[in-house]
Structure 1
């Protein structure tokens, strides 16, 4: 496994690449409050026959953090993605994206811009989304739910995402994470049944504090664009933070869509890594045969 640093306009990203040079190229992007090690078990399987890249997003793991809160906007995360693409596929080779949680949310931002951003056009072979609808897709769920009078469904999701509102409070979330980060981490590990968690107290506290800004600066644009990039949804049906109904209308944004519902919790990438790697492998094979 080769580790390297990727410089962007305002941060340095820690990137790891492994697997055969001639295998299909998969790029894995983690979410909150994780770092790239959340993918370790998936990488161990995929790297047998795929070229696999994963990186710590800005503010997480061994990557540096931007100087201001605005540095966590999805547009900046997409700039980082493009810098990584230039590093792992300088010849323009199409890449198969895989994202979990905020990794998936930011990749939805990239996929929805693929046809209009020259830096991305033709470079995204496919996208596997796990537990992370894009910001606009998430807003669409609430708008359509209210319009269709599905108040029970909307209410259930609001209960699942109570923390999003709490994260908007100034200072308080940072103080709670600093003082109780160890307990929060241990509670998540127990609740989510995470085996041999990749978290440690210091990394968890730092990554979580920085990641709060993702929730504070990113708002829906209410664009109704579509993408031609093939998309695979892996939906954990026991996700503590997202109900499966959130994804019901996503084909209006991504017509080339397949969906796999799995009895699993939010961190399926750790609890059932082979389900994830098998689904990614099968999807990539189908796309490569087209």
Structure 2
């Protein structure tokens, strides 16, 4: 395992105003870099990033929330300033849940947190929200472009069991936008592509395809390594969960932000989600996949508003709120 150099439990100023950096150690010894903004006495919001990003993808959202919340943004294992496990099995969802538990123990041991995740950050957060280990530790969950893999497995099975033209078109649409997943399972080639050209052009590619401007720290200087290590997330989890999906439910209030122009996670993957998360709020957003970069103000408003509603003992029902223009 590759170790990065901030000792566990220490805090020091980080890159931005009011930002601190601490080190948290997961049960298997993986050190996680955790950045914080805001007053630790305020309600805590934890923002978890996806692939191939670092916590910097959430920076604009975090800074907007910091006036009202204690905002916590970890670099997930294998990325940014966190340690890099070498074995594929060390990227399994149960290890990621261990990481989240360690972060919660460090930053909010006595009060539940409001959790939000993007892409793989949302996928791994679903694991915690629908499991039993962190029951009572998560007050609300906002999911952005990252479904529960077990829910996706059931979504696919439902369409194969009832192969109507509409269902088959939906299945074909999602599969057509998921070809990169098969590519990530190939030996050597993903690393060659990322280290060869993709990491150098990634920022420009996001500008062209997503309209994402540059934000401090993103793309990260560690992008090539992060992308190569992060491929293990797909290899450790996708096949087993999609082939043998569990029945994962939650009574946590869930807000699903669905970018309608997402090129990777198609909006219809959320069809029937009330079956698994009955306390559901839907938020369609006219945006692409990287909404934390392109629509930071909107996401900060929605995440913060949802958290405040739950804090005030409100119980959001299953509703669909108006979307926002891109």
- TM class by shorter chain equals over 0.9
Rounded to whole Å, the distance in 1 between the matches of 2:220 and 2:109 is 37
Rounded to whole Å, the distance in 2 between the matches of 1:186 and 1:33 is 15
Q: Are residue 33 (structure 1) and residue 89 (structure 2) matched?
A: no
Q: Are residue 255 (structure 1) and residue 265 (structure 2) matched?
A: no
**Selected match of 1:104 from 111, 117, 122:** 122
**Selected match of 1:16 from 35, 41, 56:** 35
Aligned match of 2:108: 89
C-alpha displacement of 1:202? 4.1
SS at match of 1:15: strand
Contact 2:37 2:63 (C-alpha < 8 Å) held by counterparts: no
Aligned match of 1:144: 158
Alignment map for 1:62-141 (pairs within 5 Å)? 62-91=81-110, 93-113=111-131, 116-117=132-133, 120-141=134-155
Rounded to whole Å, the distance in 2 between the matches of 1:225 and 1:129 is 15
Contact 1:168 1:215 (C-alpha < 8 Å) held by counterparts: yes
Q: Are residue 179 (structure 1) and residue 193 (structure 2) matched?
A: no
SS at match of 1:145: helix
Q: Are residue 278 (structure 1) and residue 295 (structure 2) matched?
A: no
Rounded to whole Å, the distance in 1 between the matches of 2:55 and 2:221 is 15
Instruction: List runs of 5+ in structure 1 lacking aligned partners.
Output: none
Rounded to whole Å, the distance in 1 between the matches of 2:202 and 2:80 is 18
C-alpha displacement of 1:199? 3.2
Rounded to whole Å, the distance in 2 between the matches of 1:189 and 1:103 is 22
Rounded to whole Å, the distance in 2 between the matches of 1:4 and 1:43 is 16
| Paired residues, number | 285
SS at match of 2:196: helix
Rounded to whole Å, the distance in 2 between the matches of 1:130 and 1:55 is 17
Aligned match of 1:199: 218
**Post-superposition CA distance 1:101-130 (Å, at most 9, x none):** 0000000011110xx32xx12111010000
C-alpha displacement of 1:201? 7.0
C-alpha displacement of 1:224? 1.3
Contact 1:185 1:201 (C-alpha < 8 Å) held by counterparts: no
Instruction: List runs of 5+ in structure 2 lacking aligned partners.
Output: 1-18, 314-326
C-alpha displacement of 1:249? 1.4
Contact 2:151 2:248 (C-alpha < 8 Å) held by counterparts: no
TM-score, scaled relative to structure 2: 0.85
C-alpha displacement of 1:99? 0.2
**Post-superposition CA distance 1:2-39 (Å, at most 9, x none):** 21111122311000111123322100000000000001
Rounded to whole Å, the distance in 2 between the matches of 1:163 and 1:27 is 28
C-alpha displacement of 1:250? 1.2
Rounded to whole Å, the distance in 1 between the matches of 2:40 and 2:91 is 32
C-alpha displacement of 1:284? 0.8
Rounded to whole Å, the distance in 2 between the matches of 1:90 and 1:123 is 9
Change (3 A) 1:36 1:201: closer
Contact 1:185 1:204 (C-alpha < 8 Å) held by counterparts: no
Aligned match of 1:165: 182
Contact 2:257 2:285 (C-alpha < 8 Å) held by counterparts: yes
